[in-house]
Structure 1
Amino acid sequence: MRSQRRLILAALSATAFAAAVGMPSSAMAQGYPGKPVKLVVPFPPGGITDVIARSLSNHAQQAMGQPMIVDNRPGGGGVIATDLVAKAPADGHAVLLAAIGQAVVNKHLFKKLPYDPNADLAPVSLIAQGPNVLVVNASSPYKTVADLLAVAKKSPEAVTFGTYGNGSSPHLQAALLMQRTGASFTHIPYKGSAPAMNDLLGGQTTFMFDSLITSLQHIKAGKLRALAVTSPKRNALLPSVPTFAEAGVSDFSFMAWYGIHVPGKTPPAVVERLRKEIDEFAHSPAIARQFADQGLELVSSSPAEYARFLASEDKTWSAVIQQAGITID
């Protein structure tokens, strides 16, 4: 009897253990979010990424019943913020709002990262995209992209471009333009986009790739001239400005984009709950209009679609970086 009882107790213990092992994913998903969600942003307050984060935060708090707290963690090219989320518990309470640098480019710029970008992060959804614009000082002699390229091919040292740092998105766009056209420009990296823009406005540099919303005020004020937008189609905010294809560079385009990531082993049901909220956010007419006025289109995707998009971007920009020999460390 005693041995039979021990067998029964052992069987019951094994069943309970198996149930406990199988519980976390489904139970966690049903109770998610069980506390405030931290939305980590790799940039300082005030930029477009921060605007996206705070708008999403407001929507998510109403929809999910828990605060979504924006946590700005600039520095290290986004490595600090990315590492924070990559090493957080995989329960959906730490979320990364990433741009191209954090999601794709950094692993090709840094020789060593404190996290595994492929294993330690999981894609949830794209959330927004928008074009950049190539701008010159309004007093510049360059009226078209062709004017700029003609001089750059003859005298590369005469054509300079400012960026907010080595390996930054504007740096990569300029590298791609050089590779597509055979022109050469001189890179001047700054510690931030504001000083780079100040020097362009002051005539110290020749041109800059910048976000549409940042440059728009200076274009409308007559301080900058837009030569081309980087999107495949013209933008409604600058309808008279041509695309690069229309300006004579047929194989050049770029869209700034932003996406949501979570720690790598986050349960699929939790990922799906986040994706659902992003989809509702992106398809809210009122919110979409607000961002359209800033040159951004809100979008959403499945994790699988976003993963395929990331793979395509990785293929493009890894080749650009390798050919240009761009490194951070």
Structure 2
Amino acid sequence: MGNRRQFITSVAALGAAAGFPSGASAQAFEQVKIVNGFPAGGTADSTSRRVAEKLGGTPYSRHAAVVENKTGAAGRIAVETVKAAAPDGATLLLTPYSCMSIYPHIYRTLSYDPFKDFVPVSMAAVMTHALAVGPMVPQSVRTVKDFLAWAKANPDKANYGSPAAGSTPHFLVALLGLDNGVDLKHVPYRGSLPAVADVIGGTLAAVSCPTGDSLANHKAGKIRILATSGGKRTPFTPDVPSFAESGFGDLTTEEWFGFWLPARTPASVVANANAAINQALREKTVVDSLALMGLVAQGSTAAEMDRSQKEEHVRWGPLVKRIGFTAES
């Protein structure tokens, strides 16, 4: 009993220092879980684990969080898992905004309503996406325009992988092909890393994925990133132009990972989770670890995240319609 009382006292002091809501210590979980829908080793998994390590000893969780990778169905299995979890705040979802802002436009029978079944907690990290090519594409192809010319001349090889059908990386290259009259065939994967592996192995021409998922192999010379999707060059690939620099400004976009909790989670618990996550994202070790994956650590208020989620939902609606993609197509 003495140890428990000492823990609550120390957590209360930590909460006051870190700006946690008053009374937060009474709501601390023994251990929380973070569920994400993508394989170990990728950007979603890394973001989950870096934050999970820092949640212990806060008014939100006594111990570091555990991470569960519920892969499959383009990230939807993880979303469905958290939707079905108890709305007590013990099970967090970490996913890119595409699952919550874009998927409603492409799945006619989506098994969750992103705006009714979940509450936003905090953004976690911001990323750009990259178009990279491998050994199947000649070394002379150094730019996006070169790639389009090669793809047009080699329609039987003009394919690209992405982390999932309906993901932002999928749509970026779909728009690239559509805008330039080039038939680029999409091959969906369960996460970026298997697609990157096939590009390295020469069985896939290109991959569109979070920049961080292709970063190490680009630096090792195994693949070549042709462009990234931010408004300017990323600090992680200063040698690579942006799509905008390359003459494709319409492909400028940055995506974020965010944390959600099930709907009806008490507001006080959401506030606790938000404070703990934002505290973790300010720690230098977390910032530096995410940077290795091409990610910029960036927390937010729940309201800021909610606003951005709705803005992206509105923005992507006409783009998805133009691409003509649905889950059944």
Structure 1: stretches of 5+ with no match in the other structure: 1-25
Equivalent residue, structure 2, for 1:37: 32
Equivalent residue, structure 2, for 1:211: 210
Which stretch has the larger CA shift, 319-328 or 173-182? 173-182
Equivalent residue, structure 2, for 1:82: 79
Q: Is the 8 A contact 1:28 1:91 kept in 2?
A: no
Percent identical among aligned pairs is 33
Q: Is the 8 A contact 1:40 1:96 kept in 2?
A: yes
The 3-state SS of whatever aligns with 2:41 is coil
Q: Is the 8 A contact 1:39 1:71 kept in 2?
A: yes
Amino acid in structure 2 at the alignment position of 1:122: V
Equivalent residue, structure 1, for 2:224: 225
Larger Rg, first or second structure (1 or 2): 1
1:114 aligns with 2:111: yes
Alpha-carbon separation, structure 1, partners of 2:217 and 2:34: 31
The 3-state SS of whatever aligns with 2:257 is strand
Structure 2: stretches of 5+ with no match in the other structure: 1-20
Q: Is the 8 A contact 2:134 2:199 kept in 1?
A: yes
Alpha-carbon separation, structure 2, partners of 1:181 and 1:126: 34
Q: TM-score, normalised by structure 1?
A: 0.83
Equivalent residue, structure 2, for 1:59: 54
Deviation at 1:196, TM superposition (A): 2.5
Equivalent residue, structure 2, for 1:70: 67
Alpha-carbon separation, structure 2, partners of 1:198 and 1:270: 40
Alpha-carbon separation, structure 2, partners of 1:192 and 1:305: 27
The 3-state SS of whatever aligns with 1:105 is helix
The 3-state SS of whatever aligns with 1:31 is helix
Q: TM-score, normalised by structure 2?
A: 0.83
Give CA deviations for 1:275-323 in whole Å, capped at 9, x if unaligned: 1112211212232122223211000111111111111211222222222
Deviation at 1:61, TM superposition (A): 0.8
Equivalent residue, structure 1, for 2:295: 296
Q: Is the 8 A contact 1:40 1:85 kept in 2?
A: yes
Deviation at 1:96, TM superposition (A): 0.7
1:94 aligns with 2:91: yes
Alpha-carbon separation, structure 1, partners of 2:69 and 2:232: 32
Amino acid in structure 1 at the alignment position of 2:105: H
For the aligned residue pairs, the C-alpha RMSD in angstroms reads 2.5
Instruction: Return the structure number with greater helix share.
Output: 1
Give CA deviations for 1:109-128 in whole Å, capped at 9, x if unaligned: 22213333221101111110
1:318 aligns with 2:314: no
1:170 aligns with 2:165: no
Deviation at 1:267, TM superposition (A): 2.0
Alpha-carbon separation, structure 2, partners of 1:255 and 1:129: 7
Give CA deviations for 1:62-86 in whole Å, capped at 9, x if unaligned: 3235232222222222222212222
Deviation at 1:269, TM superposition (A): 1.9
Q: Is the 8 A contact 1:39 1:69 kept in 2?
A: yes
Deviation at 1:151, TM superposition (A): 4.6
Q: Is the 8 A contact 1:157 1:185 kept in 2?
A: no
Mark the CA change 1:148 to 1:271 in structure 2 (over 3 Å): closer, same or farther: same
Equivalent residue, structure 1, for 2:242: 243
Alpha-carbon separation, structure 2, partners of 1:165 and 1:127: 20
Deviation at 1:241, TM superposition (A): 0.9
Deviation at 1:137, TM superposition (A): 1.9
The 3-state SS of whatever aligns with 2:121 is strand
Give CA deviations for 1:117-167 in whole Å, capped at 9, x if unaligned: 221101111110122221112544322112223455677555321234432
Which stretch has the larger CA shift, 102-111 or 288-297? 102-111
